[in-house]
Amino acid sequence: MFNFQSNPFLQQEIATLILLLLAFFSKYISSKLVRKIAKKNESLEHRTNLIIKYINIIIFSITSLVIIIIWGVDKQQIFLFLSSLFTVIGVAFFAQWSLLSNITSGILLFISFPFKIGDRIKILDKDFPIEAEIIDIKAFYIILKTDDEETVTYPNSLLMQKGIALLKPLH
């Protein structure tokens, strides 16, 4: 018969194992769900993989935090560490605000699917209107090709701020 007194960490080990199984299951289910949505909306594989990567980072972060709590790290120390971490990240992201807004806009564009590769769009900018075909959609920007065969990269955050008209193809 197994003696529970011989292993004082058995409860933490079991809880950690269960949590890791839940995290693995969550990653699997979320990956399948994102791929199903992407296939339904004819999204590109690299955009789908990027969204899955973001979700996996969130799952990993939550799992790590819960494991730290399971193993009895003092909550005050956790909050002190997290507040310090968020302060450093906040300062770094504030310095790189356009980077963060482009990532967020890229996720929103992926979820809402307002247009896809091959569509012709007109960006309704009073000073610099652009009419072009979408060549590629990246995490931070889209690549456009104008009628003059110029290649233009346009930040995702600006796409979310400007009006976009979906045009009929030339051919």
pLDDT in tens, the chain (171 residues): 555 566 778 888 899 999 999 999 999 999 999 888 888 877 667 778 888 888 999 999 899 888 888 888 777 777 788 788 777 777 666 656 666 677 777 777 777 767 778 889 898 888 888 899 988 887 778 899 998 999 998 888 888 788 788 887 655
Rounded CA gap, 64 and 170, in Å?
Answer: 52
CA gyration radius, the chain? 23
Which residue in 168, 134, 169 sits closest to 151, CA to CA? 134
Provide the whole-model pTM: 0.52
CA distance 93 to 103: 12
| Three-point CA angle 46, 50, 53, nearest 5° | 135
Q: What share of the chain is helix, strand, coil (3-state, %, to 5)?
A: 60, 15, 25
User: How many Å apart are CA 99 and CA 64, to the nearest integer?
Assistant: 26
